[in-house]
């Protein structure tokens, strides 16, 4: 980043189509395309902009397009769908039967797009990518997968959950080369962020060359905004190269997550069950969730964000914890002890209490139900 700063300066100087394009932007897009084994990639100022711009531009350009959106999709996808003006259907979260019922209402010739995520950030549930791709093929739909909360953290090279499904094949196939029949190959459009696991800022799409060129040519969210500063692009390239080669960070994060979930279960702290690295701790009340977050910071010097409506439904307010590769056993023990103290002080419901009430959002409910919802 320092070399890029000295070479190009701090800012991009304009939009990509005028003066804000550099060799570093092209290299970054090449790295992202290779990471996801797609023909091309396009970088945006954030993944919120990438989702909004891509969905609105693509679906408004397809006459009669119908969008099928998972109920728990991110606000950026919802906004892009609204801006497209296309007809939309919302299917119940991860409900393949409901999605197929909606898809079957339209002829195969009708342009369609299925929008969903790999890891849902507030629940930690994982999208049913292979099954949704199969339904999309059956009914002639484009697949749009948001991998924001998975890139860098899943798969042998950090390409996300879609890559993780074909771990061995992805591990032994040269970067950038298609793996026909793989889950990653079945997804038409992948979006991701440079601002979470990659530790920089920005968002992107990866898809076919023709689709990327169309978005580059027509999306206002790409055309009319200043491009990422070259030092940011350089930092992103370095981060992608490192995480593509290193397994250490992914191993440590998964290990710490598994250990933390086990420790919280032993302490009776109610964790919304899921298979991902996200640890949502159910509180069930907005005021109490805020109080718990404040108490963790004020008394224990631990920052954990409270999540309230409209991000989650009323009655499902929670604390969201995300273990990192840098956390250790001492930190984990401190966190569990602090949560136990806060739960006692505020009189918050523990897992057994939710079970007596019939359960909520997976806590104290049937395991198969909670995995889907």
Q: Which member of 38, 88, 112, 196 is catalytic?
A: 196
Residue 319 and residue 305 in contact, taking contact as beta carbons nearer than 8 Å = yes
| Distance in angstroms (rounded) separating the CA atoms of residues 33 and 50 | 15
CA–chain centroid gap for 336, Å, is 26
In the annotation, is 112 catalytic?
no
203-207 and 189-193 as β-strands: parallel, antiparallel, unpaired? antiparallel
Q: How far apart are CA 188 and CA 191, in angstroms?
A: 10
Cβ neighbors of 57 (< 8 A, separation 6 or more) are 84, 214, 215, 218, 219, 220, 221
Taking residue 17's Cβ as centre, other Cβ atoms within 10 Å add up to: 13
- Cis check: omega of the bond before 310, within 30 degrees of 0: yes
Cβ neighbours, 10 Å, residue 287: 12
Q: Which phi-psi region, left, alpha or beta, contains residue 339 (left: φ > 0; alpha: ψ -120 to 50)? A: alpha
Pick the closest to residue 39 from 192, 212, 164, 203 (CA basis): 212
Positions annotated as catalytic residues are 196
């Amino acid at each position: 980043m320092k070399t890029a700063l000295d070479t190009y300066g701090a800012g991009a100087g304009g939009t990509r189509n005028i003066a804000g394009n550099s060799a570093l932007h092209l290299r970054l897009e090449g790295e992202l395309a290779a990471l996801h084994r797609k023909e091309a990639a396009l970088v945006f100022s954030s993944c919120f902009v990438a989702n909004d711009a891509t969905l609105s531009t693509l679906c408004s350009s397809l006459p009669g397009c119908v969008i099928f959106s998972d109920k728990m999709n991110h606000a950026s996808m919802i906004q892009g769908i609204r801006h497209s003006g296309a007809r939309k259907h919302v299917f119940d979260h991860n409900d393949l039967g409901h999605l197929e019922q909606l898809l079957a209402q339209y002829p195969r010739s009708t342009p369609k797009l299925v929008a969903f995520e790999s890891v849902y950030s507030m629940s930690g549930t994982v999208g049913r990518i292979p099954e949704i791709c199969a339904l999309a093929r059956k009914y002639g739909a484009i697949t749009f997968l948001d991998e924001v909360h998975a890139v860098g953290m899943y798969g042998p090279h950090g390409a996300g959950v879609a890559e993780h499904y074909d771990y061995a094949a992805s591990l032994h196939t040269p970067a950038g080369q298609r793996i026909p029949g793989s889950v990653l190959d079945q997804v038409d459009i992948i979006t991701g962020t440079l601002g979470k696991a990659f530790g920089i800022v920005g968002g992107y799409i990866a898809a076919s060359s023709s689709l990327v060129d169309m978005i580059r040519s027509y999306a206002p969210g790409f055309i009319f905004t200043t491009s990422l500063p070259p030092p940011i692009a350089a930092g992103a390239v370095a981060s992608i190269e490192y995480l593509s080669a290193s397994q250490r960070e992914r191993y440590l994060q998964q290990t710490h997550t598994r250990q933390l979930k086990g420790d919280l279960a032993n302490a009776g702290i109610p964790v919304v069950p899921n298979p991902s690295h996200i640890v949502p701790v159910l509180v069930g009340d907005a005021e109490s969730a805020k109080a718990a977050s404040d108490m963790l910071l004020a008394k224990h010097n631990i920052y954990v964000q409270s999540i309230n409506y409209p991000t989650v439904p009323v009655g499902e307010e929670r604390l969201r914890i995300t273990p990192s590769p840098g956390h250790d056993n001492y930190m984990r023990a401190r966190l569990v002890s602090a949560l136990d103290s806060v739960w006692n002080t505020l009189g918050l419901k523990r897992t057994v209490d939710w079970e007596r009430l019939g359960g909520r959002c997976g806590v104290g409910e049937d395991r198969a139900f909670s995995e889907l919802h």
